[in-house]
């Protein structure tokens, strides 16, 4: 982490802007807590990635929220490539005054440099590959290969700096860990599967009751918490163990798999912070 921080700081002076990739389903939990401090003073572009998996209305709200902080924002599904074409125009709009100044000085065609940052699994490599047409596999996936920094051209006058090293999310906050686990960004073996499923069911029951009804034919009644809903769903599916008890562990795995696989629909698990009054 310290190494990554040092590298970001060392390179920042050469950058025109910093691009932060965020998971649109968990726009707060998928950020590195130090990024604002690390990139202070730089123009910022936020890529709300995975919009294909997020609630479209909530994505609009999140985009507006990040714009209100002064960032350029684009909405992207890096896997299919939807939205990536907005990247270059958005960067140029963000840096318009700089480009105008270059032009006034006759420096047409000066290359813009953008550092790309994101927590692991957010889709950074997929995004960079799509936006640049790069085909190479992720080097860090090959054992024993240390990846250096890489310049990746997007077009003739726009280059990305793909930073090696890892920027972690805010793990010390247990709520953040839970949300990252919901989305599958962290492995299931570090969390209790039933606890996780119960919490997910609780959130879905309160915020997306229709989706739960459509998939599992359960309705939240007064007082039903996530655990009650999970049990109801297990019963509906006939997941029973000896003694007539329901197999909530099996149901938990199914709920998480189906949620991550998009079978329940598109969800956003974090709401835009309220304006301070």
> Minimal distance in Å, beta carbon 189 to ligand GDP?
18
What residues contact residue 112 under an 8 Å CB cut-off, 6+ apart?
16, 17, 91, 92, 95, 99, 157, 158, 159
By the 8 A CB rule, do 35 and 62 touch? Answer: no
Q: Which stretch binds ligand GDP (CB under 6 A): 9-17, 120-128, 227-235, 268-276?
A: 120-128
Nearer to ligand GDP, 96 or 120 (CB): 120
Q: What does R_g of the chain's alpha carbons equal in angstroms?
A: 21
56 binds ligand GDP (CB under 6 A): no
Binding mask of the shown chain, residues 76 to 95, with x at each position contacting ligand GDP by CB under 6 A = -xxx----------------
Are the CB atoms for 115 and 11 separated by under 8 Å? Answer: yes
User: Residue 58 Cβ, how far from ligand GDP at the closest point, in Å?
Assistant: 15
> Counting contacts by CB under 6 A, is residue 52 touching ligand GDP?
yes
Quickly tell me which residue has 């990739």 as its tokens.
Answer: 21
Check residue 54 for interaction with ligand GDP (CB under 6 A).
no
* Site for ligand GDP contains 121 (CB under 6 A): yes
Number of residues lying near ligand GDP (CB under 6 A): 15
State how far the Cα of 140 lies from the Cα of 273, in Å rounded to an integer: 35
Which C-beta is closer to ligand GDP: that of 23 or that of 224?
Answer: 23
Contact 141, 155 (CB under 8 A): no
Binding part of the chain for ligand GDP, among 31-39, 49-57, 64-72, 99-107 by CB under 6 A, reads 49-57
Residue 135 class from Cβ within 10 Å (0-12 exposed, 13-18 middle, 19+ buried)? exposed
Q: Is 55 in the site for ligand GDP (CB under 6 A)?
A: no
Selected binder of ligand GDP within 50, 199, 215, 235 (CB under 6 A): 50
Nearer to ligand GDP, 79 or 250 (CB): 79
**CB nearer ligand GDP, residue 104 or residue 145:** 145
CB-based contact 114:91 (threshold 8 Å)? yes
130 belongs to the binding site for ligand GDP (CB under 6 A)? no
Under a CB-based contact definition with an 8 Å cutoff, are residues 52 and 79 in contact?
yes
Residue 83 or 226: which CB sits closer to ligand GDP? 83
Is the dihedral angle over the CA atoms 203, 206, 210, 214 positive or is it negative? positive
Should residue 169 be labelled a site residue for ligand GDP when binding is judged by CB under 6 A? no
Quote the tokens at residue 102: 């270059």
Q: Are 43 and 92 in contact (CB under 8 A)?
A: no
Q: Are 17 and 98 within 8 A, CB to CB?
A: no
Is the CB of 20 or the CB of 77 nearer to ligand GDP?
Answer: 77
**Does 125 interact with ligand GDP (rule: CB under 6 A)?**
yes
Q: Which is nearer to ligand GDP, 78 or 256 (CB)?
A: 78
Query: Per CB under 6 A, which of residues 99..118 are in contact with ligand GDP?
Result: 118
């Amino acid at each position: 982490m310290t190494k990554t921080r040092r590298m970001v700081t060392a390179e920042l002076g050469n950058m025109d802007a910093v691009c932060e990739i965020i998971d649109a389903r968990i726009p707060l939990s998928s950020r590195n807590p130090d990024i604002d401090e690390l990139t202070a003073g730089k123009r910022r572009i936020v890529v709300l990635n995975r919009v294909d998996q997020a609630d479209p209305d909530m994505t609009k709200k999140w985009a507006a929220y990040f714009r209100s902080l002064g960032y350029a924002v684009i909405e992207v599904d890096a896997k299919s490539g939807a939205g990536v074409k907005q990247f270059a125009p958005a960067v140029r709009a963000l840096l318009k005054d700089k480009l105008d100044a270059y032009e006034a000085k006759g420096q047409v065609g000066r290359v813009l440099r953008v550092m790309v940052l994101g927590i692991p699994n957010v889709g950074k490599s997929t995004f960079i590959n799509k936006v640049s047409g790069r085909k190479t596999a992720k080097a860090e996936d090959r054992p024993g290969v240390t990846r250096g920094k890489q310049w990746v051209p997007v077009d003739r006058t726009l280059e990305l700096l793909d930073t090696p090293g890892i920027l972690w999310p805010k793990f010390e906050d247990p709520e953040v860990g839970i949300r990252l686990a919901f989305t599958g960004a962290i492995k299931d073996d570090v969390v209790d599967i039933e606890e996780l499923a119960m919490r997910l069911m609780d959130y879905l029951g309160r915020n997306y009751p229709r989706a739960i009804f459509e998939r599992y034919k359960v309705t939240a009644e007064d007082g039903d918490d996530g655990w009650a809903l999970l049990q109801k769903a297990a019963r509906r599916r006939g997941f029973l163990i000896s003694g007539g008890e329901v197999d909530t562990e099996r149901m938990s795995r199914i709920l998480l798999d189906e949620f991550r696989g998009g079978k329940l629909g598109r969800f956003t698990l974090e709401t835009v912070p309220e304006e301070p009054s």
